[in-house]
Amino acid sequence: MLKHTLIHPEISEVLARAGHHAKVLLADGNYPASTKKGPNARVVSLNLSPGVITVSQALRAVLSALPVDEVNTMGIPPDDPYAGAGEPKAWAEYREIARAAGVRAPITPISKWEFYQAVESPDHVLTIQTADQALWANVLLTVGCRTA
């Protein structure tokens, strides 16, 4: 019986096989998960209905089971129509979730195109596709090391 809150069998299997530096994407409902992925990545769709589940819900579960070295969000290009709205609300929530999970790494936005490149790398092992309707809600985790 597992003690952490992540109980999805396929996600648990992929994470158990993931090593240091592996990439795990928690994708919002707008992310092109079928085309923007690494050659070794598995896509698990948890998009039941609009807004169910959210990236925040998936993040809480994944962080209960996984050490993390880096947390990146997809940065908003300056020419994007949403760039003037400031930082997406979801990012503050991600910071709180990460802090509560004991993650010491800051949540750092990287440019949209660098984000896609990181996801398309051979290190990308898993995309969890959510139905989150928030814009710019994608989170890319870099797996850390389990230490004594």
What ranges do the domains of the chain cover? 9-143
Residue 93: predicted pLDDT = 97
Does residue 81 have a pLDDT over 90? no
Contact of 22 with 142, CB cutoff 8 Å = yes
Residue 145: predicted pLDDT = 92
Distances (CA, A) of 136 to 62, 80, 103: 19, 11, 21
Q: What mean pLDDT is reported for the chain? A: 94
For a pLDDT cut of 70, what percent of the chain falls above it?
A: 98
For a pLDDT cut of 90, what percent of the chain falls above it?
A: 87
What is the mean pLDDT of the segment spanning 18-28? 97
| 37: amino acid identity, one letter | K
Does residue 133 have a pLDDT over 70? yes
What is the mean pLDDT of the segment spanning 28-48? 96
Architecture of domain 9-143: 3-Layer(aba) Sandwich (3.40)
Does residue 51 have a pLDDT over 90? yes
82 pLDDT band, cuts 50/70/90, is confident
The pTM assigned to this predicted structure is: 0.95
CA atoms within 13 A on the CB side of 87: 12
- Dump pLDDT digits (tens) for 84-126: 888 999 999 999 999 999 999 999 999 999 999 999 999 999 9
Residue 123: predicted pLDDT = 98
